[in-house]
């Protein structure tokens, strides 16, 4: 009997609770394997998810709206596990780049678990950190697009365990690289052994690493200086490149006679890169260099005009290239006028800029996520790069408000960057005004699927739907509709989103909405969400404009998104397996084969 047959038999056993069946299935699914093993430590924020569904509520008086045709950046205040779960509805498979700088678990009050700092003496220190990170990375993987990539800053305290954890979640095959960032430019003299002056940045893609291509970096002055024009070639500066290559290819081992009459062979174990015929073509095209006197071992000429696209990024990033921690603190002080940076882990703008230049371009509206947002450097770097290359990248930040960091640092920094500010030296800095910033807080709706809760979830879903559809311009009242019954939102272009909140007096509202849809331009795209048990029922009320709308019944898609997230998180079955809760079958809560 194979595993699947055994699982099917277990499902049919009588006299067992759903939880007992799930436990047995878990035992069947457990296989011995190489990798990390740790004791899972539940979080209080998980327990909250067992009883409530997370939603996002906009703090409208904190919105910074510059223009309707610029990127809408989002700042979410709240626990990042709650916020990430909410984003599984709005952004599943839509995030292009994730950068995070999580707590390093140094034991020096940098990592909280269930509202208590984890110190060096905690015997479950690493298990707590792995439990904490694994849940967030699992959800992050759901959010990444097919070509999405994640960059994670870490130091030596958890680098080794994080690498194994990411190998488990993203698979070893999707490991892109381990960047070493030289974060400090001077040693710490108090150290008696080795002064650590670097951090790591682990890089993984979601899938299919063979199709992942990073942008190349501009050549440095030193690299450009290596190109000369020793023979006044009309094609410009060039540098010589080795003509031999290993391992040897037998047919390409042959003698070459230089212009001076010297006969040369490739080194032992090597062969020439070119066949005899191809070599003659290169010689005829003046692409082979034999030295000024014509007696050198031949080399190939590489013209700088033919390699203008730049160079592949290397795994060592120096502070001259991407900045260091002192520079990052100074950048923050220039904006906030603080005597000292509010925390030690602020990252320099140039570091995030390097990440974004490698993984994005100005050709499409990439979506970037940072769910350990800290001082908000990721958004600052995103807006600055957009200003430089006229890109339309959108950034989503998530952070809690511990010590008022979200309001007073993350938000305030980026508010000033958008609106302009006077720096610490009294110099006015122009704002990056082609950006909008919207501020949200996590909120909750009871999870039992009672009718009143379904209606409540639909009623508060408008803000989630605005984020999902990127339609923020509210034209409900302007078109004579009651905001308690429906909402109408546009992107100020040809996209319209309509949300019908409940069924009371729905017939009258639907008739009005049908008339509204009829008067829209034929090219307008209309997404219609409505409180309804199924799509067909919703369509009945809009039969006259069926060819104009894309209908989605609520709230079932939201429940389904959260159900998938809960399955990923393997939340406590006792709390969520009741018939009046989001119904998750026991087998869906166990690891897949």
Beta-bridge mates of residue 301 = 240
Residue 585: pLDDT over 60: no
Position 229 pLDDT exceeds 80:
yes
Whether 581 has a pLDDT exceeding 60, the answer reads: no
Considering Cα of 313, then 319, then 324, then 327, what sign does the dihedral take?
Answer: negative
For residue 94, what pLDDT is reported?
97
- What DSSP letter does each residue of 385-440 carry, written as one string? HHHHHT---EEEEEE--GGGHIIIIIIHHHHHHHH-EE-TTS-EE----S-EEEEE
Pair 447, 53: CB distance under 8 Å = yes
pLDDT score, position 342: 61
Angstrom distance (rounded) from CA 212 to CA 358 = 11
- What is the bridge-based pairing of β-strands 72-77 and 436-446? parallel
Please check the confidence at residue 384 and state whether its pLDDT lies above 50. yes
Q: How confident is the model at residue 372 (pLDDT cuts 50, 70, 90)?
A: very high
Long-range contacts made by residues 228-236, C-beta under 8 angstroms, separation at least 24? Answer: 230/289, 230/292, 231/286, 231/289, 233/286, 233/301, 233/303, 235/303, 235/305, 236/303, 236/304, 236/305
pLDDT at 32 over 70: no
329-357 pLDDT, tens per residue? 999 999 998 765 566 679 999 999 999 99
Q: What is the pLDDT of residues 145-184, one digit of tens each?
A: 999 999 999 999 999 999 999 999 999 999 999 999 999 9
How far apart CA 97 and CA 62 sit, in angstroms, is 26
Q: Comparing 424 with 89, which gets the higher pLDDT?
A: 89
With 70 as the cut, is the pLDDT of residue 2 above it? no
Least-confidence region, from 6-10, 472-476, 578-582: 578-582
**Given the DSSP bridges, would you call strands 144-154 and 95-100 parallel, antiparallel or unpaired?**
parallel
Q: 351: part of which helix (H) or strand (E)?
A: helix 349-359
Average pLDDT over residues 418-428: 92
Torsion of CA 91, 95, 99, 101, to 10 degrees: 20
- pTM for this model (two decimals): 0.82
Q: Give CA–CA dist 274/254, Å, rounded.
A: 10
The percentage of residues in the chain with a pLDDT greater than 70, rounded to a whole number, is: 93
Task: Dump pLDDT digits (tens) for 175-217.
Answer: 999 999 999 988 877 777 888 899 999 999 998 888 899 998 8
Average pLDDT over the chain, rounded to an integer: 88
Residues 73 and 203: their CA atoms lie apart, in Å, by 24
Tell me the sheet residues that pair with 95. Answer: 144
Taking only the tens place, the pLDDT of each residue in 292-311 is 888 899 999 988 877 767 78
Residue 73 has pLDDT above 80, yes or no: yes
Three-state DSSP class for residue 196: coil
Selected residue with higher pLDDT from 304 and 83: 83
Reported as half-sphere exposure (CB side, CA atoms, 13 A), residue 64 has a value of: 21
Long-range contacts of 266-273 (CB under 8 A, 24+ apart): 270/244, 270/245, 270/246, 271/244, 271/245, 271/246, 272/243, 272/244, 272/245, 273/242, 273/243, 273/244, 273/245, 273/300
Determine the pLDDT at residue 566. Answer: 92
CA–CA separation, 303 and 280 (whole Å) = 19
Contacts of 73 (CB under 8 A, 6+ apart): 379, 382, 383, 394, 395, 396, 397, 414, 435, 436, 437, 438
Tokens of 483: 């905001």
The confidence band for 14, taking pLDDT boundaries of 50, 70 and 90, is confident
From CA 571, how far away is CA 592, in angstroms rounded? 15
Length of the chain counted residue by residue:
593
- Extract the tokens encoding 559: 């429940």
């Amino acid at each position: 009997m194979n595993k699947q047959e055994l699982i099917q038999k277990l499902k049919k056993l009588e006299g067992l609770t759903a939880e007992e069946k799930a436990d047995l299935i878990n035992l069947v699914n457990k296989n011995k394997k190489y990798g990390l093993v740790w004791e899972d430590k539940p979080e209080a924020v998980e327990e909250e998810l067992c009883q409530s569904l997370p939603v996002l509520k906009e703090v409208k008086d904190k919105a910074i709206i510059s223009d309707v045709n610029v990127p809408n950046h989002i700042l979410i205040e709240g626990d990042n596990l709650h916020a990430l779960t909410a984003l599984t509805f709005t952004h599943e498979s839509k995030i292009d780049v994730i950068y995070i700088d999580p707590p390093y678990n140094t034991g020096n009050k940098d990592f909280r678990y269930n509202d208590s700092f984890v110190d060096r003496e905690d015997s479950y220190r690493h298990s707590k950190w792995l439990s904490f990170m694994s849940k967030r990375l699992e959800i992050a993987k759901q959010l990444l697009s097919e070509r999405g990539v994640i960059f994670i800053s870490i130091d030596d305290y958890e680098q080794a365990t994080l690498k194994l954890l990411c190998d488990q979640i993203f698979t070893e095959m999707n490991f892109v690289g381990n960047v070493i960032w030289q974060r400090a430019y001077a040693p710490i003299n108090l150290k008696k052994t080795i002064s650590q002056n670097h951090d790591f940045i682990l890089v993984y893609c979601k899938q299919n690493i063979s199709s992942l291509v990073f942008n190349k970096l501009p050549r440095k002055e030193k690299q450009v200086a290596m190109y000369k024009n020793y023979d006044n070639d009309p094609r410009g500066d060039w540098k010589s490149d080795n003509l031999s290559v290993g391992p040897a290819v037998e047919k390409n081992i042959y003698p070459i006679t230089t212009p001076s009459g010297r006969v040369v062979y490739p080194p032992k174990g090597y062969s020439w890169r070119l066949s005899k015929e191809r070599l003659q073509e290169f010689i005829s095209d003046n692409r082979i260099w034999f030295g000024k006197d014509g007696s050198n071992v031949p080399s190939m000429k590489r013209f700088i005009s033919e390699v203008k696209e730049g160079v592949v990024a290397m795994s060592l990033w120096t502070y001259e290239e991407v900045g260091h921690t002192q520079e990052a603190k100074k950048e923050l002080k220039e904006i906030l006028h603080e005597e000292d940076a509010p925390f030690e882990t602020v990252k320099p703008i140039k570091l995030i800029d390097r990440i974004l230049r490698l993984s994005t371009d100005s050709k499409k509206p990439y979506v970037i996520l940072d769910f350990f947002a800290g001082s908000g450097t990721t958004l600052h770097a995103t807006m600055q790069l957009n200003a430089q290359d006229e890109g339309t990248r959108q950034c989503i930040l998530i952070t809690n408000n511990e010590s008022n960091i979200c309001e007073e640092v993350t938000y305030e920094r980026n508010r000033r960057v958008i609106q302009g500010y006077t720096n610490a030296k009294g110099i006015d800095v122009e704002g990056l005004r082609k950006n909008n910033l919207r501020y949200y807080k996590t909120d909750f709706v009871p999870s039992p699927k009672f009718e009143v809760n379904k209606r409540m979830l639909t009623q508060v879903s408008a803000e989630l739907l605005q984020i999902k559809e990127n339609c923020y311009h509210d034209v409900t009242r302007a078109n004579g509709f009651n905001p308690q019954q429906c909402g109408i939102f546009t992107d100020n272009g040809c996209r319209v989103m309509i949300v019908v909140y409940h069924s009371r007096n729905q017939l009258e509202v639907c008739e009005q909405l049908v008339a509204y849809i009829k008067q829209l331009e034929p090219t307008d795209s209309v997404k219609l969400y409505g409180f309804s048990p199924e799509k067909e029922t919703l369509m009945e009320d809009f039969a006259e404009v069926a060819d104009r709308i894309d209908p989605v019944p609520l709230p079932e898609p939201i429940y389904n998104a959260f159900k998938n997230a809960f399955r990923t998180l393997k939340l406590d079955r006792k709390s969520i397996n009741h018939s009046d809760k989001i119904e998750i079958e026991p087998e869906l809560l166990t690891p897949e084969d």
